Amino acid sequence: MKILVCISHVPDTTSKINFIEGDTKFDTNGVQFVINPNDEFGLTRAMWFKEKQGASVDVVNVGGPETEPTLRKALAIGADNAIRVNTEATDGFYVARQLAKVVQEGGYDLVIAGRESIDYNGGMVPGMIAALTGTSFVNTCIGIEVEGDTATTIREIDGGKETSTVKLPLVVGGQKGLVEESDLRIPNMRGIMMARKKPLTVVDPIDANQETKAVQFEKPAPKGDVTLVDADNIDQLVELLHNEAKVI
Amino acid sequence: MSVLVYTESEGGKFKKTAFEVASYAKEVATILGTTVTAVSINGGDSSELGSYGVDKVLQVTNDKLATFNAKAYANTIKQAVEKDGAEVVVVSSTTDSKFLAPLLSVHLNAGYASNVVALPESASPFKVKRTAFTNKAFNITEISTDVKVIGLSNNAFGLRENSGSAEAEVFEPSLVDADFDIEVTAVDKATDKVSIADAEIVVSGGRGLKGPENWAMIEELADVLGAATACSKPVSDMGWRPHGEHVGQTGKPVASNLYIAIGVSGAIQHLAGINASKVKVVINNDPEAPFFKAADYGVVGDAFEVVPKLIEKLKEFKSNNA
């Protein structure tokens, strides 16, 4: 089985978010970048396929040279090959078109991409890859097993889950549940050393339109102070929620 | 030209989000000087959509579409968009709509903006405000394609009553077998519980509750409020509660009207995920818990004393206001 895991290079979940150049650009100063958490669950699941069922695992990212440490980390975790499409990842549609080409050329049986990145939260790349390549697609995937050419998937639905079967090739939008948080791997020294020797291929982008553009950023308005209610006066909380907040 | 809205239903009834996206579509149509067409797949009573400003309803009734299928649904909506010559397509942020929206965008060659929280800032160029960085920020996104797909954030706009004729028209999309490539074998869904996505009120528990055996009071509180239950990441990681309840940056986003956090300290990732909720209440015995900085109302106290009192007071409130 040939697996491709799409990796987004995103600010660490604890990052403070600030903008520069008249709020038109994300301020990367002092920000630690990581593998997008939704992608990391998929990467770890891919490692299990590799170890238990003998799959090969490629990772791909659309981004500039500054994203390479993130790809190297994926190699250190155990991916075999990395591909970087050398262009700035701005619009999700544009990114999906770049990735669709990599998917088509690589002949993958399974493509795993996080259901959304935690920076732009576009939530469109996995579905668009599937649609652009005419592949089957399961979003918000929280479980997958493959036997022969058939996958059994579990997807999260509002208020529950749904189990399906589908023939490969398949694109999944992954998230926590594919593996658990405790299953995630921290690269060890051997992995890091080996990752240096693994191939990281840089490919040129294809010509594609930017269909959307984030032209301006805003931070939420500062929040007022909390209104504290005495633990012995819960009546007051009910009253405030009813009369002031008008939510009950 | 029109604004086309996909009005989702379940069990032959429109979901609440259907009325919200219809309300939004109506306002967008007013800005653009055009009309609203809804597409309804095995949906509810079309006339209900009129109350939110829908002018025309393309009604699809087809057994093959009895259960959700992202490809076939996206294809159906695409055909409705083309038939109607729609320029703007509005969908909700339910799991199913987020599943089909990227497929629809590719079919229509349309730019897609998800998690939109407000009406377009301008129609030409077409700009909308959406959340980014998991609710830590917003961005104004410009969509430059002829057809635009907007995913409206749940509870971001609310319901606005309006009058529309909701003229029903039978619509028969041509379905292709290739779209039915996924076979659903089992659905596991608690039908008696409010889901986090649909809930107006969410009650959430954290590590401060000390163990899964203490969730009865969380469930009782949720029950009194007609709320969904949720939990913090450590709670789901420790297996105290199912993953589906995990809310936060890597879990489910919450955009409820009221969010009550009990024994949740308020890690930055948790706050990011629930930030879109309108009113936040924290109950925690640690006055230094970061959640107090993010909350509108707070109670410093032992959850095991405060929550039963709150349940009791809410029951009184309900019987007085029934």
Kind and range of the H or E run holding A14? none
- A-B contacts at Cβ under 8 angstroms: 269
Q: Are residues B211 and B287 in the same domain?
A: yes
Q: Give the integer Cα–Cα distance in Å for B283 and B50.
A: 42
For chain B, strand residue ranges (E) read 2-6, 9-10, 13-14, 36-41, 56-60, 86-91, 111-116, 122-123, 126-132, 137-143, 148-152, 167-170, 182-189, 201-205, 228-231, 258-262, 279-284, 297-300
Q: Is residue B283 part of a domain?
A: yes
Amino acid, single-letter form, for residue B46: S
Q: Is residue B190 part of a domain?
A: no
For the stretch B11-24, pLDDT in tens is 899 999 999 999 99
Domain count, chain B: 2
Task: Flag if A176 and B250 touch (Cβ within 8 Å).
Answer: yes
Q: Is residue B189 part of a domain?
A: no
Question: What pLDDT is attached to residue A223?
Answer: 82
Q: What CATH number was assigned to the domain covering residues A2-221?
A: 3.40.50.620
Please name which of B261, B253, B317 lies closest in space to residue B289, comparing C-alpha atoms.
Answer: B261
Q: Is the model's pLDDT at B192 over the cut of 80? A: no
Task: Flag if A123 and B115 touch (Cβ within 8 Å).
Answer: yes
CA dihedral B65, B67, B72, B75 (to 10 degrees): 80
Task: Flag if A238 and B144 touch (Cβ within 8 Å).
Answer: no
pLDDT band, residue B249 (cuts 50/70/90): confident
Choosing from B120, B148, B179, the residue where a domain stops is: B179
Q: Are residues B245 and B315 in the same domain?
A: yes
Q: Give the integer Cα–Cα distance in Å for B123 and B129.
A: 12
Q: Give the integer Cα–Cα distance in Å for B89 and B132.
A: 21
Mention every residue, 6+ apart, whose C-beta is less than 8 A from residue A134: none
For the stretch B22-62, pLDDT in tens is 999 999 999 999 999 999 999 989 999 999 999 999 999 99
For B153-239, strand residue ranges (E) read 167-170, 182-189, 201-205, 228-231
Task: Flag if B294 and A223 touch (Cβ within 8 Å).
Answer: yes
Please name which of B90, B103, B133 lies closest in space to residue A138, comparing C-alpha atoms.
Answer: B103
Q: Give the integer Cα–Cα distance in Å for B273 and B135.
A: 7
Say which DSSP state B247 is in: B
Choosing from B126, B145, B179, the residue where a domain stops is: B179
CB-based contact, B263 to chain A, within 8 Å: no
- pLDDT (tens place) for every residue of chain A, 248 residues total: 999 999 999 999 999 999 999 999 999 999 999 999 999 999 999 999 999 999 999 999 999 999 999 999 999 999 999 999 999 998 999 999 999 999 999 999 999 999 999 999 999 999 999 999 999 999 999 999 999 999 999 999 988 999 999 999 999 999 999 999 999 999 999 999 999 999 999 999 999 999 999 999 999 888 889 999 999 999 999 999 999 999 99
CATH number for B224: 3.40.50.1220
Kind and range of the H or E run holding A20? strand A19-20
CB-based contact, B284 to chain A, within 8 Å: no
Task: Flag if B115 and A231 touch (Cβ within 8 Å).
Answer: no
Of these ranges, B20-24, B246-250, B269-273, the one predicted with the greatest mean pLDDT is B20-24
Q: Are residues B85 and B175 in the same domain?
A: yes
Q: Are residues B159 and B60 in the same domain?
A: yes
Q: Give the integer Cα–Cα distance in Å for B202 and B149.
A: 29
A125-133 vs B95-108: helix axis angle to the nearest 10?
A: 50
Q: Give the integer Cα–Cα distance in Å for A98 and A102.
A: 7
Domain of residue B165, residue span: 2-179
Q: Are residues B6 and B86 in the same domain?
A: yes
In terms of residues, how long is chain B?
A: 322
Across the beta sheet with B279-284, the strand order is A227-229, B297-300, B279-284, B258-262, B201-205, B228-231
Distance of CA A8 to the CA centre of its chain: 6
In terms of residues, how long is chain A?
A: 248
Mention every residue, 6+ apart, whose C-beta is less than 8 A from residue B257: A247, B155, B200, B201, B277, B278, B279
DSSP track, A184-208: -----HHHHHHHHHS-EEEEPPPP-
Tokens of B152: 């409206």
CATH number for B31: 3.40.50.620
* Closest residue in chain A to residue B269, using alpha carbons only: A13
Task: Flag if B131 and A136 touch (Cβ within 8 Å).
Answer: no
- Across A54-63, b (16+ Cβ under 10 Å) vs e yields ebbbbbbbbb
Q: Are residues B121 and B226 in the same domain?
A: no
pLDDT band, residue B193 (cuts 50/70/90): confident
Q: Give the integer Cα–Cα distance in Å for A147 and B254.
A: 36
Q: Are residues B175 and B215 in the same domain?
A: no
The average confidence (pLDDT) of chain B is 95
Q: List the 155-194 stretch of B: residues with Cβ below 8 A of A.
A: 181-191, 193-194
* Closest residue in chain B to residue A24, using alpha carbons only: B139
